[in-house]
Amino acid sequence: MTDFTVEVFDRLQDEAEFFDREAERTLATQRGLTFTNKLNYEQYFAHQRPYAAVKEFFGDISGKRILDYACGTGWTSIYFARSGAECHGIDISEKSIVVAGKTAALNGLDHRCDFRVAAGESLPYADNSFDIVFGNAALHHVDLEMAPEEISRVLKPGGKAAFIDDLRYHPVLWLYRHLARRKHTLFEEPLTMADLDWFAGSFSEIRAETFDLLNLLPKRKKLASVLTMCDDMLLQIVPSLQHCCRYVVIKLVK
């Protein structure tokens, strides 16, 4: 186990306690543990542009060994497993891992999923263990001085990692975060584009795409379609606005 600094240890403890409380509510209601849809990874990830970008980057995942990084309740693992992947998930929250295990079992996919309590800065796997690492809203909860090297370590040579994460300077989301601090962990900080520099020493290829400047309602399909076109035009005219988008998709190759 890595020897953590006091700052990192405090972060991990706060993250674990926060998401344990969230998971306890899920365990109490059992809500959402059994999926009502039958979608696989390819189908689900086609629904929104950040996920579609990840799907295009990963390609076919059947038979691949995937690490669901900071997996939370394990919902993305279900979709990966439905497409024939061997999915392993880690999370700092013990209660979230309990939920993830229950979710996999209730959806008949526990034979394809394995979940462990672990920090993203100290992964309990051997070097070169995974074909793919995926994280959703994960990086802004970990220490970026430590995590990139660990992610690279467990990836096989030529392996791919992709992360969908929050960007810091979207005006609406920035205001929301400042008005609703109790809905966020104490130490988390949404990313900036400059945070990609943390990955430079650990990966041979680093790419980033940004999404959703005006489009904050992806489930309203007609409106989302119009707002997405507006986003594309604005970002083409003023590329610097990418820093103000809602999401960044970081694509990495070891």
pLDDT for position 216: 79
Contacts of 184 by beta carbon, 8 Å cutoff, 6+ apart: 177
152: part of which helix (H) or strand (E)?
helix 147-154
Q: What is the pLDDT of residue 215?
A: 83
Which CATH number does the domain housing residue 243 bear? 3.40.50.150
* Burial (Cβ within 10 Å: 0-12, 13-18, ≥19) of residue 116: middle
Domains: count for the chain: 1
Residue 1 lies in a domain: no
The residues near 175 (Cβ < 8 Å, ≥ 6 apart) are: none
pLDDT at residue number 88: 98
Tokens of 48: 């929104």
CB 214 within 8 A of CB 136: no
Please check whether residue 242 lies inside any domain of the structure: yes
* In-domain check, residue 28: yes
Give residue 76's pLDDT: 96
Say how far apart CA 215 and CA 98 lie, in whole Å.
34
Distance CA 84, CA 4 (A): 36
d(CA 210, CA 164): 10
For residue 235, the enclosing domain spans: 6-253
Instruction: Give the pLDDT of the chain (254 residues) as one tens digit per residue.
Output: 567 888 889 999 999 999 999 999 999 999 989 999 999 999 999 988 999 999 999 999 999 999 999 999 999 999 999 999 999 999 999 999 999 999 999 999 999 999 999 999 999 999 999 999 999 999 999 999 999 999 999 999 999 999 999 999 998 888 888 888 888 999 999 999 999 999 999 999 999 999 999 887 777 778 878 888 888 899 899 999 999 999 999 999 99
Residue 96 lies in a domain: yes
Give pLDDT, residue 181: 85
Q: Which residues contact 177 (CB under 8 A, 6 or more apart)?
A: 184, 190
- 215 belongs to a structural domain: yes
Which pLDDT score, from 0 to 100, does residue 50 have?
Answer: 95
